[in-house]
Each structure stands twice: as C-alpha cells, then as structure tokens.
Amino acid sequence: MQIYLDLDGPVLDVSRRYYLIYRDLLKQAGYLPLGQNSYWSLKRLKVTEAAIVQRIMSECGVSAYIDQRAQLLEDSTYLVYDMLQPGVLDTLKGWSKQHRLYLVTLRRNRVALMSQLKLLGISSVFEEIFCAQDADQSWKTKCEWMRSSCVTNREAVIVGDTEVDVLAGRAAGIQTISVTCGIRSRRFLEQLSPDRLFSNIAGLCPEELFVPIDSISASVA
C-alpha cells in the first residue's frame, strides 16, 4: 500500500506555533489577541486568518499582518513549538516496515522542513518527501505529486486534516482519510465526506485506513 500523509495536523500538532505567531504579531501591533482556545475554535471552522484579525485591525493592518505571518510561519524560531501527535512516531515506523510512505506537504521551506523532520526522528520513514518549494500551494499540486508517484490508485490512500487533502485524493483517484486532530473540526470534515474519518492515526493498522475498493462509500468511522 502507498500511504500519502499531510504533515501539519495528521503528523504534527502545530497549534502552539500558529497561535504564538498570531499572538506575537498582534501584541507587536498593539492589539489584544484572543486566547488560544478561541483562536483555534475559529480556525477549525475554516475562518481565515485575515477574517480573524480584521475585526480589530484596519485593512492595511491586516495586509501587513498576513505578510509578516507568511515570513514567520516556517521560521525556526516558531517551528520548535511543533510536536509529534501522540503515538504517531511508533505508528509511522510500524507502517514503514511493510508499506510505502510519502509526505505531501505544502510547506515552502524545504531546508527548514528537512531539519525539523530529522530533529523529530521521522525523516527516514518516508520514501519520498514532497513540498511546495517551487510549486503552488493548492490541492492540485498534491494531486500532481500523487499521480506521478502512485503505482496503482487501487492500493493508495491520502491522510490529511483539511479539504485540500480530500480534493487532492479524489482528483488523483485514491481513497481519502481525514483526521480531526488537525486544523479542521469533525463537523467540517464530515461535510466533505471522506472515505474514512478518524480522530487521529495513532495505533491504527494500515488496513484500517483502507476501504475495499468495491465497497467505497462516504463512510465515517
């Protein structure tokens, strides 16, 4: 089986990094930020970063915020706050013994990405690592990666936490697995009707991810 994994959400808990960038930028601009829980409640409902901050900032302020955030999002100063999702390290190591794992992330900074993966001890579990250093940050990019590397879509799945991964998987003709431990809420993901829906991947056997091709329905685990 070929298993394609998004990084931020299914593999890494990025909630602290995202929030600290938001908090620090607002404080620097002289504004009072939301608490972390409130901030993430909005993010998980797909409220955009711009929409979150535009309630208290001018249009110019929002534009400057978005530019600054983009510069900091993959900066090592904040990447250190990412953590492996509980139990995911052992799960990935187990999967990699019998299956081919691919990382498909829309991160842009490949040098920072590889450094982080090595530091976390997971770089070696992936047969190939795709990132959007020289590509568009869209579901179409992930779809192209999977189409170029997939041997047979009858034995491939993509595991992600957003609509990007579901769209990419469907376009590539492979099964879609969504997890609720990332950036989108269960309610939001249910509306996308992925082939399977789990809270996280920790402890799962690869066979639990895969729905027999003749019985695929928009099932929710």
CATH code at 96? 3.40.50.1000
Residue 168 near residue 146 (C-beta atoms within 8 A)? yes
pLDDT score for 221: 41
Of 29-38, 55-64, 205-214, the range with the lowest mean pLDDT is: 205-214
For the chain, how many structural domains are there in total?
Answer: 2
pTM of the model: 0.91
| Local confidence band at 4 (pLDDT 50, 70, 90 cut-offs) | very high
- 162 and 204 in a single domain? The answer is yes
Sign (positive/negative) of CA torsion 13, 42, 168, 133? negative
Owning domain of residue 90: 2-13+83-215
pLDDT score for 211: 67
Which residue among 79, 105, 124 closes a domain? 79
- The yes-or-no verdict on residue 219 having pLDDT over 80 is no
Alpha-carbon torsion, ordered 47, 33, 106, 118, to 10 deg: -140
Which residue among 35, 56, 79 closes a domain? 79
pLDDT score for 73: 97
- 6 and 27 in a single domain? The answer is no
pLDDT score for 218: 39
In sequence order, which residues have a C-beta less than 8 Å from that of residue 181 and are 6 or more positions away?
9, 10, 13, 85, 161, 199, 200
- The yes-or-no verdict on residue 213 having pLDDT over 70 is no
